[in-house]
Amino acid sequence: MSSLFGTMSIATGALGAEEGALDATTNNVANANTPGYSRLQPVLVENDPVTTGSVTYGMGVSLEKLQSLRDPILQLRIQEETQQQGQLQAYVTAMQQAQVQFTTSNNDIGTEISNFFSSLNQLSTDPTDLSLRQGVLAAAANMATAFNNTSDNLSQERSNLDLQVSQDVSQVNVLTGQIANLNTQISQLQGVGQDASALEDQRDVLTGKLSNLIDVSTIQSDNGLTLTTSNGTALVIGGQRFTLSTQTTASGMQDIYSQGSDITSDLTSGELAGLIEVRDQTIPNLLSNLDTLSAGLANNLNAANAQGYTLVQQANGTLQPGGNIFVAPPASGQGAAATMAVAISDPSLIAASSDDAASASNGNVATLSAVQNQAIADGQTPTDYYSSLVFGVGSDVSNASAELTSSQSILNQLQDQLGSISGVSLNEEAANMVQYQNAFDAAAQMVTAINDMLYTVINMDTLTV
């Protein structure tokens, strides 16, 4: 059996439900521009009906909950792609700077090598001319300087990357600390059955930032979110954060440690992985290639000079044999480019002559020039070796840039997709508002009507017919 009081409670229930729904709309509109906000959707459900005799009466509506619209799988994909992008971005940015050294210019290594051999060609036309000899020494010094500068700049960049690594590690620790705090708050709220979607949104934003820095795997467990690196190093477990630290190694660069173990080489994505790849692999490889080339040039030119004779006459009347033009590079070759230097300042010590009795001979200039066409570095001529180096640097950067572009467009698409699920549309909210407002108005009218009816019933005896 229905009663007026029962009907009244349906109407007031509706007022409450519509008010709650309107609250969701208000919150959505208020957060329309909040990063990471997932829109709320009111979940309205019909109350269980009551059957009296043959009539079934509806019992109105209740607001079950305000549901936050999110897509965890999509968020996971975004997280992965963000890590990928963070890595590529770091790699490309660092290598863009490195490749400038290898752009053909007036004083890059390739040009200075060519200039040096050109100066030898000039010397062969007049081997006793001191200004031509001076020209060879100047070109040798320029070549050495080109190696020094390129090598120094690359080393400098390594140090800059190293600094960035330690800054990123601090940033990671800040983020994992914040995430651990949110984990605690979220599980407290959920423990008492409350909605924690606002905090979850914040945690998503922080996890996104963390993904940009380091590779993160997320595991949703009972006590909140567990974050680890892809090889299983814990970053956050529930409310506990595991800080990363850096420690300077023998190489002078900082390695990343988690709870005493070195995880530097385990990082596979995120900005840190990109920085570490350039710092520990790409640039050291380039430096070692430069060392090979400069040591090959210095050793072979020194050997060629030793085969000839200088302008200096010895006590016995013969000419003094040539010595080193370049300071002998370290035997291991390591650091050869950074330390390459001309060993002589007296131009007469260039051994142009191939005859210990004839100072105007140019016979040994050909031996010096021949180094240009000899396999002096890993079986390649100086120019071939350098041009392969340029190719290597160029294709590294151009491949990584292409990957970065595609990663960016994938990320854009994914974010579009997420936006279509979680983003707030003001039009939609306006329509909802109108709808909930109208329903609220109608319910209020119902309350007035029922109130009138109750008044009628209560005053029934005093009414005169």
Partner 1 sequence: MSAIRVNPYPMPDLLAALENLQQQQSTATLEMGTGSTINKPSDNPAGAAELVQIQNATSQLDSYQQSIGSINSQLSTADSTLSAVATVLQRAISLGVQGANGTLSDTDRSAIATELSGIQSQLISLANTTYQGQFLFAGTAETQPYVADTTAPSGVSYKGNSGTNSVTIGNGYQVQVNLPGSQVFNGPGADVFQAIQDLINGLNTNSGIPNAVTEVTNAYNYVTEQRVFYGNAMNQAQSQQTFLGTENVNLSQQENTVAGADMATVASQLSNDETAINATLSAMGSMPRNSLFDYLH
* By the rule CB under 8 A, 309 interacts with partner 1: no
Choose the binding region for partner 1 from 94-102, 174-182, 246-254, 454-462 (rule: CB under 8 A).
94-102
| String of contacts with partner 1 for each residue 413-452, x by CB under 8 A | --xxx-xxx-xxxxxxxxx-xx------------------
Of 56, 96, 167, 448, the residue at the interface with partner 1 (CB under 8 A) is: 96
Least distance from partner 1 to the Cβ atom of residue 399, Å: 9
CB of 294 to partner 1, least distance (A): 16
Query: How far apart are CB 71 and partner 1 at their closest, in Å?
Result: 12
Is the distance from CB of 407 to CB of 88 less than 8 angstroms?
A: yes
Determine the interface stretch with partner 1 among 15-23, 170-178, 339-347, 385-393 (rule: CB under 8 A): 385-393
Instruction: For residue 450, give both structure tokens.
Output: 């029922």
- Strand locations in 279-373 (E): 309-313, 319-321
If one asks whether residue 118 binds partner 1 (CB under 8 A), the answer comes out as yes
Least distance in angstroms from the C-beta of 232 to partner 1: 34
- State how far the Cα of 193 lies from the Cα of 361, in Å rounded to an integer: 98
Q: What SS3 state is found at 198?
A: helix
Amino acid at site 290? L
According to DSSP, the β-strands at 217-221 and 224-228 are: antiparallel
Is residue 314 at the binding interface for partner 1, with CB under 8 A as the rule?
Answer: no
Q: Which of residues 26, 128, 145, 435 is near partner 1 by CB under 8 A?
A: 128
For residues 53 to 92, the per-residue mask of contacts with partner 1, x marking binding by CB under 8 A and - elsewhere, is ----------------------------------------
Q: What would the x/- binding string for partner 1 be over residues 388 to 407, using CB under 8 A?
A: x-xxxxxxxxx--x------
Q: Which is nearer to partner 1, 326 or 386 (CB)?
A: 386
The count of other CB atoms within 10 Å of the CB of residue 102 is 22
Which string of DSSP letters, residue by residue, matches 263-303?
A: -GGG--SSHHHHHHHIIIIIHHHHHHHHHHHHHHHHHHHHH
Span 341-370, contacts to partner 1 by CB under 8 A: 353, 355, 357-363, 366, 369
Q: Which is nearer to partner 1, 19 or 126 (CB)?
A: 126
For residues 178 and 174, what is the distance between their CA atoms, to the nearest angstrom?
Answer: 6
- Whole-angstrom distance, CA of residue 371 vs CA of residue 278: 32
Q: Does 111 bind partner 1 (CB under 8 A)?
A: yes
**Smallest distance from the beta carbon of 57 to partner 1, in angstroms?**
29
How many C-alpha atoms does 451 have within 13 Å on its Cβ side?
8
Is residue 129 at the binding interface for partner 1, with CB under 8 A as the rule? Answer: yes
Q: Which is nearer to partner 1, 84 or 115 (CB)?
A: 115
Q: Does 107 bind partner 1 (CB under 8 A)?
A: no
Match 């009628």 to its residue by tokens. 456
Give residues with Cβ within 8 angstroms of 130, minimum separation 6: 347, 348
The phi, psi pair for 129, rounded to 5°, reads -70, 120
* Structure tokens belonging to residue 402: 């292409």
Q: In whole angstroms, how far apart are CA 327 and each of 134, 144, 155, 344?
A: 17, 10, 21, 8
How many binding residues for partner 1 (CB under 8 A)? 69
Quick check: 421 and 78 in contact, CB under 8 A? no
Of the candidate spans 2-10, 127-135, 239-247, 442-450, the one that interacts with partner 1 by CB under 8 A turns out to be: 127-135
CA distance 81 to 83: 5
412 lies in the site for partner 1, by CB under 8 A = yes
Cβ neighbours of residue 379 under 8 Å, at least 6 residues apart? none
Binding site for partner 1 (CB under 8 A): 95-96, 99-100, 102-104, 110-111, 113-115, 117-119, 121-122, 124-129, 353, 355, 357-363, 366, 369, 383-384, 386-388, 390-398, 401, 408-409, 412, 415-417, 419-421, 423-431, 433-434
